[in-house]
Amino acid sequence: MKSFLLTVMCSIWFFASWAQPNIIPKPTQMLVAKGEWTLGAKTKIGAPADAKWTKVAEMLAGQINKASGYAVKTVKGKGDITFALSSDTSLGEEGYRLLVTPKGVTIQAQTAKGAFYGVQSLLQLLPVEIFSPAVVNNVKWKVPYVTIKDVPRYAYRGLMLDVGRHFMPLDFVRKYIDLIALHKQNQFHWHLTEDQGWRIEIKKYPELTTIGSKRKETMKGHYGDHKYDGKPYGGFYTQAEIKEVLQYAEDRFVNVIPEIELPGHALAALAAYPQLGNNPDKIYEVGTKWGVYDDVYMPREETFKFLEDVLTEVIDLFPSKYIHIGGDECPKTQWKESRFAQDLIKKENLKDEHGLQSYVIKRVDKFITSKGRRMIGWDEILEGGLSPNATVMSWRGTEGGIAAAKERHDVIMTPNNFVYLDHYQADAKTQPIAIGGFTDLAESYSYDPTPKELSAEEAKHILGVQGNVWTEYMKTPSYVEYMVWPRAIALAEVAWTPTDKKDFADFSKRMEIHKKRLDYLGVNYFGAPINNKFEYAWPEKK
């Protein structure tokens, strides 16, 4: 009996003192000790005298002050929460150490970016009220004693957003970037051009937006229902607005990758500049239905001139090393029928229309490379021969990614069965209309981006993983959130946490606490209590 009592008491002590903090993504190494340090009105945040580090410290102070009502200040050097430059190379560019002791908090990193990720973990060690946009009274701002060393599994941890099918306002784009950063993701892939809308101002070709950003109406229901809403729709971002987004993202250590689709998914551009298509006399209309259109760019010299001009403005605007050029779903129908395309195939000694697609991609790759950037394309760019500097985004499964890695090309894994967040996440009968497919939270979480088929050397070419968000059926920001969160959070853990630390049951438990943080952040995640307040979460019942 005595030993039983002892065991019970020991377990209570054990759980009280060793309960694992709810950090997502789960850190690489974490030790928790008994006790807590408490943040107070007099807490000072010390940071190295460097603009980037100071900004990180100020962002932390800002969040603390907003939620606590304190006026916590940042100072140079040592504080109660201290940021310190580390010379530990094992932390890499993005890793950090976080120490919480009776003396306070220390965040060590080699870079301000690593320190920023330390802050994300510190915020998740504090009570969930720290995420409140307004002062919450009567909270004890306790932080458990921990020692964390944390480095990401992959260098590329991304989330994409299609604003072509449905335009998303700037406030929402900023909130999306905030959530990317909170989960230690570092890439925002911004899909800016589509058949159904061109969304980025290009100064040299104003009609891309005056004409190409607007469609006369939008398809309702699924393909084949033949129903339209009869409502004009449009929207685009000016270059000045994009610059603001880029600064916002940079402050949160998120790189923004623009995608300009070619040679397919180009109908909105053809509506603006018909001379770039198969038939310059045709009246092209910006797409009103979803799916894949036969109308694609005709690879005349004039078209290359246009594409290079557009890419020049894009490259001048976006600092990203990577520029995405699409390359997916380009039907060859018009090239098969076109005298010009067939003559070009002969002249360039190409095998067929796939060879012609490869010719287009290679020319664009050469141009992007000449500007000191790297081209990314969807896995169709493998067909007809991979361009020398291309990075492949494997979406139709993992085969494209495996083939590219075996050819020693860099790869970002986005296989649709795991990472397509436009799929249903629960029984379709209970859900607002979506494109189809089924990928639930557990399936997204179960994904391992490094295919078993690769050797250790080949596997080095798997840069990471990304969630893809196609918005055909997501008309509003709220509905995007409903589809994206929490599946994108599962993918953030897939991208950051070592496989042996991954555990879905444990993730699900942490998610229950994390949802309270998302509630404070006003996120309409799947299963959120606020879902029912938004009638636009249920735009069209099936």
User: Given the rule CB under 6 A, which residues bind ligand ACM?
Assistant: 328-329, 378, 395
Q: Which lies closer to ligand ACM via its Cβ, residue 80 or residue 365?
A: 365
Q: Which lies closer to ligand ACM via its Cβ, residue 194 or residue 481?
A: 194
Instruction: Compute the chain's Rg from CA coordinates.
Output: 25
Reduce the secondary structure of 266-329 to three states and give it as a string.
CHHHHHHCHHHCCCCCCCCCCCCCCCCCCCCCCCCHHHHHHHHHHHHHHHHHCCCCEEEEECCC
DSSP state at residue 41: T
The least CB distance from residue 368 to ligand ACM, in Å, is 19
Q: Which lies closer to ligand ACM via its Cβ, residue 328 or residue 399?
A: 328
Handedness of CA 25, 426, 526, 227 (dihedral sign): positive
Q: Is 20 exposed, middle or buried (0-12, 13-18, 19+ CB in 10 A)?
A: middle
CA 185 to chain centroid, in Å, comes to 7
The least CB distance from residue 331 to ligand ACM, in Å, is 13
The least CB distance from residue 350 to ligand ACM, in Å, is 24
Q: Which lies closer to ligand ACM via its Cβ, residue 308 or residue 329?
A: 329
Q: Which lies closer to ligand ACM via its Cβ, residue 184 or residue 289?
A: 289
DSSP state at residue 92: T
Q: Which lies closer to ligand ACM via its Cβ, residue 439 or residue 497?
A: 439
Q: Choose among 37, 241, 288: nearest CA to 143.
A: 37
Q: Could you identify the residue written with the tokens 């990317």?
A: 180
The least CB distance from residue 123 to ligand ACM, in Å, is 34
Structure tokens at 302: 């004039």
Q: Which lies closer to ligand ACM via its Cβ, residue 253 or residue 297?
A: 297
Q: Which lies closer to ligand ACM via its Cβ, residue 200 or residue 330?
A: 330
Confirm if 145 and 101 have CB atoms less than 8 A apart: yes
The DSSP element (H or E) to which 507 belongs, if any, is helix 504-520
The least CB distance from residue 416 to ligand ACM, in Å, is 7
Reduce the secondary structure of 196-245 to three states and give it as a string.
CEECECCCCCCHHHHCCCEECCCEECCCCCCEECCCCEECCECHHHHHHH
The DSSP element (H or E) to which 477 belongs, if any, is helix 477-484
The least CB distance from residue 443 to ligand ACM, in Å, is 17
The least CB distance from residue 381 to ligand ACM, in Å, is 11
Structure tokens at 187: 């890439």
Helix, strand, coil percentages, rounded to 5, for the chain: 40, 20, 40
The least CB distance from residue 469 to ligand ACM, in Å, is 10
The least CB distance from residue 472 to ligand ACM, in Å, is 11
Q: Which lies closer to ligand ACM via its Cβ, residue 40 or residue 437?
A: 437
The least CB distance from residue 139 to ligand ACM, in Å, is 44
Length of the chain: 542
Alpha carbons 84 and 270: distance in angstroms, whole number: 53
β-pair partners for 432: 541
Q: Which lies closer to ligand ACM via its Cβ, residue 117 or residue 470?
A: 470
Q: How far is CA 277 from CA 144, 259, 281, in A?
A: 62, 20, 9
Q: Which lies closer to ligand ACM via its Cβ, residue 44 or residue 396?
A: 396
Alpha carbons 356 and 350: distance in angstroms, whole number: 6
Alpha carbons 444 and 487: distance in angstroms, whole number: 6
The least CB distance from residue 393 to ligand ACM, in Å, is 7
